[in-house]
């Protein structure tokens, strides 16, 4: 037994790539609080983000069950499963535990096909209730993990802002450089026991001298930056010499105890918003820490405090658990135009067919938006309770392969009532717009209702395309409301415009065949006039 374990083949297998798969991430919490206060958990629900790495193999190797493991997997168990996740390899019972990973790999494939850009969730403006800016997760101000890059960007931004104030123009500098990954834990989200354990294992007592050197260097950089700013305001564009910097360093080292006492006194007044807290977070590489707004804080409101601590990574929910893009796609913007091979450039992106999970509630409750599933993600219908229902599409008595796709065009009916007789369930066309990843690693998708012309191009239907173009030039098509009690201010519908939409090219098509006949009549008339003319 020991001879086989120490053989060259065994050592090669033990040091192979698949024998050193990364450790799985912690399981996300799937418990939700119901209206009765009871926690409801699900053991079979799809996780909001993958926790184990998915592996695949070529088709030739998959036929033999070869996934690079020690032994091939049974062909019946992996049939139709090109992606697997390995839970255990040769455990104590000599069993390889695996399962299909299509629930996450197919989601990634769908998102790459949709092409929805991943953005940073911006803060809403207090007055307009709109996002202030649209920032991609792959911008240089967001997608970085280097501590020095953030520190240098902070110095450059302060110099740019002072230059703009001196010139009397608003600053056009980009937003503050942020990080999405830190070396230290998020202290605000730790329990008291976890914080005590971290303090005992971090070895902070042995790093006092290192912190003193770090604090002196931080004070020196601030002193040099202030002196250079004063020189620029006086019109002298020059940097401080090395001798002047050494002089400042000697002054700071001699007055270190006084400066340290000043920082501690400010900390007693400003608490977590003090300069000492920022220095400790920078030294230990911790996310920004933000406390409650108090009487001694500089920021009197929570909105101002959010603005001041936005560059430090301070938030109520903590830093993100994954990369802001989560590997779903690498598109930075949706400012692209699709070019159809026959219909040419399109005003809207290609729509996708979404499944209605929960209809909207028109009468009671706060669920005024329907919940739809797009690309493996559940999101809300962009349109809530509509005052006008489209009555042009009525459910047929029987469904077949021809009229089922036509039912998906009536978005209001699909999102209002679940039709149990419709094969495949209620579906509707939507346009994926933008998405972002929240702090818990969950995908938040924003969609828009499908455009009629874009849907017609997607379905390759010629007549609906002409009808959509003619309707866009005439405005929305009228509809005949159902019989109801008369109400003041309600008139009968205009039945003259309630007929089928006419094509804008109908008159032109009718006049084209008449052109040769008119030309021949004109030529005959000219010859007749020339024949009756008097001879000279």
What integer pLDDT is reported at residue 127 of this predicted model?
A: 46
Position 352 pLDDT exceeds 90: yes
Q: What pLDDT does 296 receive? A: 45
Q: Tell me, what's the pLDDT at 149?
A: 63
What is the distance between the alpha carbons of residues 535 and 118, in angstroms, rounded to a whole number?
86
Residue 202's pLDDT band (cuts 50, 70, 90): confident
Q: Cβ(406)–Cβ(419) under 8 Å?
A: no
Contacts 24+ apart (CB under 8 A), 261-265: none
Q: Which token pair is 107?
A: 């989601």
pLDDT above 50 (res 489): no
Q: Is pLDDT above 50 for 161?
A: no
Share of the chain above pLDDT 70, in %: 66
Reported residue count of the chain is: 536
Q: How does pLDDT run across 118-138, given as a tens digit for each residue?
A: 998 766 554 445 555 578 888
Rounded alpha-carbon distances, angstroms, from residue 83 to 46, 58, 70, 105, 151? 16, 10, 17, 7, 42
Q: CA 326, 329, 335, 338 torsion: positive or negative?
A: negative
pLDDT in tens, 219-263: 999 999 899 888 888 888 778 888 999 999 999 999 999 999 999
pLDDT tier for residue 302 given thresholds of 50, 70 and 90:
low
Residue 374: pLDDT over 90: yes
Taking residues 164-191, what's their average pLDDT?
63
What pLDDT, on a 0 to 100 scale, did the predictor assign at position 165? Answer: 40
For residues 155 and 217, the model is more confident at 217
DSSP string, 187-252: GGG--HHHHHHHHHHHT-GGGHHHHHHHHHHHHHHHHHHHHHHHHHHTT---PPPHHHHHHHHHHH
Taking the domains of the chain in order of start, what are their residue ranges?
Answer: 2-100, 178-312
Q: Rounded to a whole number, what is the distance in angstroms from the first to the last CA of the chain?
A: 129
Tell me what pLDDT residue 15 has. Answer: 63
Residue 254 has what pLDDT? 92
pLDDT (tens digit per residue) in 433-485 = 999 888 777 889 999 999 988 998 898 887 767 776 676 665 554 444 444 44
The reported pLDDT for the residue numbered 104 is: 86
Tens digit of pLDDT for each residue in 265-300?
Answer: 988 888 777 888 888 888 988 887 765 544 445 555
Residue 435: its H or E element: strand 427-437
- Candidates 432, 397, 412, 401; CA nearest to 119 is 432
Question: Which element (helix H / strand E) includes 283?
Answer: helix 275-284
Residue 473's Cβ-count burial label (10 Å; 0-12, 13-18, 19+) is exposed
User: Quick check: 85 pLDDT over 80?
Assistant: yes
Q: What is the pLDDT of residue 160?
A: 46
pLDDT for 385 equals 55
pLDDT band at 156 (very low <50, low <70, confident <90, very high): low
Is pLDDT at 169 greater than 80 in this prediction? no
Check if the beta carbon of residue 87 is closer than 8 Å to that of residue 69.
no
Mean of per-residue pLDDT scores for the chain: 75
The residue with tokens 């959509």 is 468
Q: Which of 82-96, 155-169, 277-291 has the lowest mean pLDDT?
A: 155-169
The residue among 343, 322, 346 whose CA lies nearest residue 334 is: 346
| Rounded Cα distance, 218 and 220, in Å | 5
pLDDT at 403: 82
């Amino acid at each position: 037994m020991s001879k086989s374990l120490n053989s060259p083949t065994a050592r090669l297998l033990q040091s192979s790539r698949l024998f050193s798969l990364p450790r799985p991430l912690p399981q996300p919490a799937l418990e939700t609080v119901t209206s009765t206060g009871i926690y409801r958990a699900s053991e079979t629900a799809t996780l909001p983000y993958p926790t184990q790495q998915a592996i695949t193999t070529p088709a030739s190797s998959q036929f033999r069950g070869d996934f690079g493991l020690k032994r091939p997997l049974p062909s019946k168990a992996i049939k139709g499963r090109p992606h697997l996740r390995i839970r255990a390899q040769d455990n104590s019972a000599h069993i390889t535990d695996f399962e299909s990973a299509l629930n996450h790999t197919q989601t990634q494939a769908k998102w790459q096909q949709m092409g929805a850009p991943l953005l940073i969730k911006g803060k809403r403006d207090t007055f307009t209730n709109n996002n202030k800016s649209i920032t991609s997760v792959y911008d240089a101000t967001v997608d970085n993990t280097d501590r020095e890059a953030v520190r240098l960007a902070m110095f450059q931004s302060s110099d740019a802002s002072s230059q703009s104030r001196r010139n009397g123009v608003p600053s056009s500098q980009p937003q503050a450089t942020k990080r999405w990954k830190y070396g230290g834990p998020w202290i605000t989200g730790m329990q008291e026991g976890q914080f005590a354990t971290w303090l005992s294992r971090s070895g902070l007592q042995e790093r006092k001298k290192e912190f003193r050197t770090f604090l002196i260097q931080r004070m020196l950089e601030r002193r040099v930056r202030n002196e250079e700013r004063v020189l620029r305001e006086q019109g002298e564009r020059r940097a401080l010499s090395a001798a002047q910097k050494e002089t400042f360093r000697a002054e700071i080292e001699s007055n270190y105890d006084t400066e340290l006492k000043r920082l501690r006194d400010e900390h007693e007044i400003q608490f977590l918003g003090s300069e000492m807290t920022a220095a400790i977070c920078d030294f230990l590489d911790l996310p920004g820490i933000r406390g409650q707004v108090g009487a001694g804080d500089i920021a009197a409101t929570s909105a101002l405090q959010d603005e001041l601590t936005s560059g430090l990574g301070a938030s109520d929910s903590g830093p993100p658990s994954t990369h802001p893009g989560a590997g779903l796609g690498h598109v930075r913007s949706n400012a692209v135009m699709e070019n159809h091979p026959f219909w040419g450039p399109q005003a809207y992106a290609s729509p996708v067919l979404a499944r209605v999970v929960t209809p909207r509630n028109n009468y009671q409750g706060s669920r005024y938006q329907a919940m739809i599933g797009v690309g493996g993600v559940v999101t809300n219908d962009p349109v809530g309770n509509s005052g006008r229902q489209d009555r042009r599409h009525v459910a047929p008595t029987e469904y077949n392969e021809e009229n089922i796709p036509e039912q998906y065009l009536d978005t209001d009916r699909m999102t209002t009532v679940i039709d149990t007789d419709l094969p495949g369930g209620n579906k509707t066309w939507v346009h994926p717009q933008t998405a972002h990843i929240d702090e818990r690693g969950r995908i938040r998708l924003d969609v828009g209702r499908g455009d009629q012309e874009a849907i017609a191009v997607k379905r390759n239907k010629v007549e609906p395309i002409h009808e959509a173009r003619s309707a866009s030039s005439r405005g929305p098509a009228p509809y005949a409301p159902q019989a109801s009690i008369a109400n003041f201010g309600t008139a009968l519908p205009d039945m003259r415009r309630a007929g089928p939409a006419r094509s804008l090219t109908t008159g032109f098509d009718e006049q084209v065949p008449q052109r040769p006949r008119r030309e021949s009549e004109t030529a005959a008339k000219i010859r007749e006039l020339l024949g009756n003319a008097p001879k000279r």
